[in-house]
Amino acid sequence: MDTPVVKATNLVKIYQTGGLPVPAVRGIDLTVRAGEFVAIMGPSGSGKSTFIHMLGGLETRTSGEIWLDGKRADTLSESGWAVLRRQKVGFVFQFFNLVANMTVADNVELPALLGGVSPRQARERREYLLGELGLTERAAAAPAQLSGGEQQRVALARALANHPRLLLADEPTGNLDSRNTRDVLKLLGQVHRQGQTIVLVTHDARVASMADRVVSLLDGQIVDDGAIPRTRRRPSGTAGDVVELHG
Partner 1 sequence: MRLPLLALLAKEPAHGYELKQALEVTFGSAYPSPNIGQIYVTLGRLEKDGFVRAVDVEQSNRPNKKVYYLTAAGREALETWVDEPTEGPRVRDEFFMKLVLAPLTGIADRMALVNRQRRHYLSLMRDLDALAERTDPENRVALLLIEGAMLHLQADLDWLQRCQEDLAL
Pairing of strands 37-41, 213-218: parallel
Nearer to partner 1, 19 or 247 (CB): 247
Q: For residues 66-105, which are near partner 1 according to CB under 8 A? A: none
8 Å CB contact between 53 and 81: no
Q: For residues 178-237, which are near ligand ATP according to CB under 6 A? A: none
Nearer to ligand ATP, 45 or 119 (CB): 45
x/- track of binding to ligand ATP for residues 79-118 (CB under 6 A): ---------------x------------------------
244 touches which of ligand ATP, Mg ion, partner 1, none (CB within 5 to 8 A by kind)? partner 1
3-state DSSP assignment of residue 174: coil
User: What's the CA gap between 35 and 14, in Å, rounded?
Assistant: 31
Question: Should residue 20 be labelled a site residue for ligand ATP when binding is judged by CB under 6 A?
Answer: no
Q: What are phi and psi of 35, to 5 degrees?
A: 85, -5
- Which of 18, 19, 195, 237 touches partner 1 by CB under 8 A? 237
Question: Should residue 145 be labelled a site residue for partner 1 when binding is judged by CB under 8 A?
Answer: no
Nearer to partner 1, 37 or 91 (CB): 37
8 Å CB contact between 30 and 6: yes
Largest CA distance in the chain: 60
Name the DSSP letter for residue 173.
Answer: T
Question: Should residue 24 be labelled a site residue for ligand ATP when binding is judged by CB under 6 A?
Answer: yes
State the alpha helices, DSSP H only, in the chain. Answer: 48-55, 78-88, 104-114, 119-132, 148-160, 178-193, 205-208, 241-246
Nearer to ligand ATP, 2 or 78 (CB): 78
Neighbours of 136 (CB within 10 A): 14
Nearer to ligand ATP, 19 or 226 (CB): 19
- The minimum distance between CB 167 and Mg ion, in angstroms, equals 17
List contacts with Mg ion (CB under 5 A). 49, 94
